[in-house]
Chains A and B, each alone.
Chain A
Amino acid sequence: MRKVFSLCAMFLALTVFAASCGSDDGDTADVAVDNSALEAAQAENDALKKEAADAAAEVEQAKADAAEATAAKDNAEAEAAAAREEADAAAAASQGTDAEVNPLAGTAVRVTGPERSPEEAGALQAALDEFGDANDMTIFYVGSADWEAEINVQLEAGNPPDISIFPQPGKLADFAREGYVLELPSDVLASVQSNWDQPALEFGIVDGAQYGVPNKNDLKSLVWYQPARFEANGYEIPNTLEEFVELATQMIADGNTPLCVGIESGQATGWAFTDWVEDMMLRRHDVATYDAWVAGDLPFASDEVSGVIEEVLALWNTPGMVYADGGSIASTAFQANGEPLVNGDCMMHRQASFFSAFFPEGTPAADGSEGAVDVFYFPEGSTGRPVLAAGTLAGAFNDSPEVWAVMEYFGSPEFANARQRVQLELKGGDLSGFNTANTNSDRSLWAPLEQSFQQILADAEVLRFDGSDLMPADVGAGTFWTEGTAMVNGDTSVADGTAAIDSSWPS
């Protein structure tokens, strides 16, 4: 028994020694030493059971085997290096001309992002596969609800993905300034610019340089309604904010409830309120004021911002104005507003383009039938035709040809079309929920309702990203939500609430 123990100990010591002796570049040598130690140890073990003389021979043999293996490995490596050199040379020679040797062949690109529904993630993967298969490379996408925390860990540990999809331009800008996310090279930039209008690309610009490529665009300045119900009551689609309020007043007089509002969304309760405030900001004040507010130069307590907040609250608190499914606005889930709109409990619901997913199953979209839902543009105020948008941007962490090829593909109409095709199929209805502002995408792939989203995006005189996503997270994903909810509940006054938000702004 003691012998077995000491043998085990010897074997362990040998492997530890072998492993710790490796120098930095000696990976293969490491393995070889390890192997020989292992084989020698096994041989020794056998030998003790048999005879000592045999053992010596076997150890000799094992050592010889190991040496041979090392030699073979060296050879193989030399060959591989030669092949690589050849491939490089061929790629270099073929640049500019059509080449038979594909420089991307055999490479792999890892993409992560926050989209994780089977339809969204599946369509994204399928669109990437299309490019990957055509170029003989592997691209895989992993979506996670915890993306925001995970990307920090991966960067911290030095293991970032090749490309990540950012739901917030603010985060992309932070990483770009820290040097993690890389600026687009000029050829990729030129290719992306040929497919997108400047306002849509603006979100990916940090300090004057383009870092992000848009992946999808959501549209927030929308009001959902049922055309049949409007027709039956003789309501017209409002063209200005004043007409919108008049229409709502008319609805109350007719005994209808104009608006569905719900801002409950778990930990993110309040974001629907911030969207309302942002949309109204764009309609009551010029773009420069909005930008100053988002950048933190214009405090929440200023007359401009608190005035808009008061206007939103006054509208919601008008008797008979709001139908709240869950009892109060703050306790109604934002997802729960699809059903009442279809049932006629309320006439209108201001919510983003992705809200199409929350109507009861089988609700027709903009096909002229009874019960179908449609959207109109949340009417303009006195400041032109502003549109509040959101969306995701792809940013690259690694500088290599295959990564830039995929980034270029993200900006191409082929990507948008492929993703739309697959997502529509996976959703199994008329609406895909995927929306792009890519100007060269094939619009005929989208249903009429979603084409109208793209039209609204294209018609926008002012396109601004969701302000709370651009603010520091302490505010945009913190106090703006919580204090906003408190103001909606009437737990705080607007003056106190806005002061609390201002004091939480990181200096």
Chain B
Amino acid sequence: MTARVPRRSASVIDKLYRSLTNVPLWALWVFVVIWTLPTLSLLVNSFRSRDNQRNSGFWRVFGDENPEGFSVFDNYEVVLSTESTNGMLQSLISSLAIAVPSTIIPIAIASFAAYAFAWIDFKGRKPLFIATVALMSIPMQVALIPLLRTYLGGAHLTLPFSNRTLSLVPDLDLAGSTWAVVLSHTGFALPFAIFLLHNYISQLPGELMESARVDGADHFHTYMKLVLPLSVPALASFAIFQFLWTWNDYLIAATMLSGGDPDVIPTTMRIVNLAGDFGRTEHLLTAGAFAQAFVPLVVFFSLQRYFVRGLLAGSVKG
């Protein structure tokens, strides 16, 4: 008898303890719900008419009286139509035309550079690397307008005491074109890309490189056959970063493309105008947001297993 009592109380404590250890989990769930709520409301509202959105909250969706002729996909139909100027299809293509090269070009250049900084012993390697990494600290906002000017007319230097003018950058007339945005994204991404990839690539075992050299591989071969396949996680994680950043970028695109050909503007610029004068078509924003978010979601979920691994890229030695 006496032995049973402590056992029973122990089991009560056990239960209490077990339920208490679950508290953080439940708290997490509460946070998840709270954090997801705005997105959920956006999603639900994207299927409701303008008047319904204006009159009641998204949780009233089942009490909706839809105006005549409104079907739940009407907002998406407008947003994805090719006829309405509110249509976003063209801008989705433009966004891809910006985001894909803006992801691939920096990765290509940065991985070459990172390999060179890590494994090729050349004069001035360290100062050059420090200078490159130091460029990360320059806010891109201060460079935007000078950059646009360079795209517009090039950069020219008139030599003193002579009539010769050196074109440091030729007048390529890039302003208003997709290339202006791609080049800007490439330039602004390179310092960080080189830094990230260098940290990863420099930690590959040196013996590997040595044995490759013994087998007669030059730097190009070592890079292509050895370094590139080994650094896929780092490359992929940087690709996700860069793709999401360029896909969602508004500032650079607005600076380089505003007032020009409307066919080349990305979705971010399109969405800004979606609400219309005086917010008259605000109801389309909900559907527009999901049309815009779809592509990054696909990219993120298809590459996310690299993401967590890659975030730690170069952070721990050994």
Q: Is B258 an interface residue (CB 8 A)?
A: yes
Q: How far is the CA of A293 from the CA of B200 in the complex (A)?
A: 64
Q: Is the CB of B51 within 8 A of A150?
A: no
Residue on A nearest B171 in the bound complex, by CB: A27
User: A117-B280, A121-B85 are contacts. A142–B218 as well, Cβ < 8 Å?
Assistant: no
Distance to closest chain B CB from A452 (angstroms): 21
Q: Is the CB of B220 within 8 A of A358?
A: no
Q: Is A251 an interface residue (CB 8 A)?
A: no
Q: Is the CB of A142 within 8 A of B262?
A: yes
Q: Which of A2, A153, A357 contacts B278 (CB 8 A)?
A: A357
Q: Is B166 an interface residue (CB 8 A)?
A: yes
What chain B residues lie within 8 Å of A178 (beta carbons)? Answer: none
Q: Is the CB of B51 within 8 A of A361?
A: yes
Residue on B nearest A24 in the bound complex, by CB: B165
A-B contact count (CB 8 A): 110
Q: How far is the CA of A143 from the CA of B166 in the complex (A)?
A: 38
Q: Is A122 an interface residue (CB 8 A)?
A: yes
Q: Is the CB of B280 within 8 A of A357?
A: yes
What chain A residues lie within 8 Å of B281 (beta carbons)? Answer: 117
What chain B residues lie within 8 Å of A404 (beta carbons)? Answer: none
What chain B residues lie within 8 Å of A362 (beta carbons)? Answer: 67
Distance to closest chain B CB from A260 (angstroms): 14
Q: Is A109 an interface residue (CB 8 A)?
A: no
What chain B residues lie within 8 Å of A156 (beta carbons)? Answer: 145
Q: Is the CB of B218 within 8 A of A2?
A: yes
Distance to closest chain A CB from B276 (angstroms): 4
What chain B residues lie within 8 Å of A357 (beta carbons)? Answer: 278, 280
Q: Is the CB of A358 within 8 A of B280?
A: yes
Residue on A nearest B221 in the bound complex, by CB: A1
Residues 119-147 of chain B: 1 if any A CB is under 8 Å from the residue's CB, otherwise 0?
Answer: 00000000000000000000000001100
User: A112-B259, A146-B254 are contacts. A117–B276 as well, Cβ < 8 Å?
Assistant: yes
Kindly identify, within residues 251 to 289 of chain B, every residue whose CB is under 8 Å from any CB belonging to chain A. 254-255, 258-260, 262, 269, 272-273, 275-282
Q: Is B305 an interface residue (CB 8 A)?
A: no
Q: Is the CB of B54 within 8 A of A116?
A: no
Q: How far is the CA of A23 from the CA of B154 in the complex (A)?
A: 12
Q: Is A455 an interface residue (CB 8 A)?
A: no
Distance to closest chain B CB from A24 (angstroms): 5
* Interface range on chain A (Cβ under 8 Å from partner): 35 or more
Q: How far is the CA of A1 from the CA of B221 in the complex (A)?
A: 9
Distance to closest chain A CB from B18 (angstroms): 45
Q: Which of A27, A30, A122 contacts B85 (CB 8 A)?
A: A122
Q: Is the CB of A143 within 8 A of B54?
A: no
Distance to closest chain A CB from B285 (angstroms): 11
Residue on B nearest A334 in the bound complex, by CB: B278
Q: Is the CB of A360 within 8 A of B51?
A: yes
Q: Is the CB of A150 within 8 A of B258?
A: yes
Distance to closest chain A CB from B27 (angstroms): 31
Kindly identify, within residues 324 to 358 of chain A, every residue whose CB is under 8 Å from any CB belonging to chain B. 333, 335-336, 339, 354, 357-358
Q: Is A134 an interface residue (CB 8 A)?
A: no
Q: Is A466 an interface residue (CB 8 A)?
A: no
Q: Is the CB of A115 within 8 A of B148?
A: no
Q: How far is the CA of A150 from the CA of B251 in the complex (A)?
A: 10
Q: Is the CB of B260 within 8 A of A23?
A: no
Q: Is A9 an interface residue (CB 8 A)?
A: no
Residues 150-161 of chain A: 1 if any B CB is under 8 Å from the residue's CB, otherwise 0?
Answer: 110110111101
What chain B residues lie within 8 Å of A380 (beta carbons)? Answer: none
Kindly identify, within residues 144 to 173 of chain B, every residue whose CB is under 8 Å from any CB belonging to chain A. 144-145, 148-149, 152-153, 156, 163-168, 170-171
Q: Is A82 an interface residue (CB 8 A)?
A: no
Residue on A nearest B176 in the bound complex, by CB: A159
Q: Is A250 an interface residue (CB 8 A)?
A: no
Q: How far is the CA of A118 from the CA of B277 in the complex (A)?
A: 9
Kindly identify, within residues 1 to 23 of chain A, every residue whose CB is under 8 Å from any CB belonging to chain B. 1-2, 5, 19-23
Q: How far is the CA of A142 from the CA of B269 in the complex (A)?
A: 12
Q: Is B315 an interface residue (CB 8 A)?
A: no
What chain A residues lie within 8 Å of B259 (beta carbons)? Answer: 110, 112, 142, 144, 150-151, 154, 159, 161
Q: Is the CB of B145 within 8 A of A157?
A: yes
Distance to closest chain A CB from B156 (angstroms): 7
Q: Is B107 an interface residue (CB 8 A)?
A: no
Kindly identify, within residues 215 to 242 of chain B, every residue whose CB is under 8 Å from any CB belonging to chain A. 218, 220-221
> With contacts A116-B277, A121-B85 known, what are 5 further pairs, Cβ within 8 A?
A23-B163, A115-B277, A144-B258, A153-B254, A336-B54
21 pairs, CB–CB < 8 Å, chain A vs chain B: A21-B167, A22-B170, A27-B171, A114-B277, A116-B273, A116-B276, A116-B277, A120-B277, A144-B259, A145-B275, A146-B258, A149-B254, A150-B259, A156-B145, A157-B145, A159-B152, A266-B279, A335-B54, A335-B282, A354-B278, A357-B278
- B residues within 8 Å of A by Cβ? 50-51, 54-55, 67, 84-86, 144-145, 148-149, 152-153, 156, 163-168, 170-171, 175, 218, 220-221, 254-255, 258-260, 262, 269, 272-273, 275-282
- A residues within 8 Å of B by Cβ? 1-2, 5, 19-24, 27, 30, 110, 112, 114-118, 120-122, 140, 142-146, 149-151, 153-154, 156-159, 161, 265-266, 333, 335-336, 339, 354, 357-358, 360-362
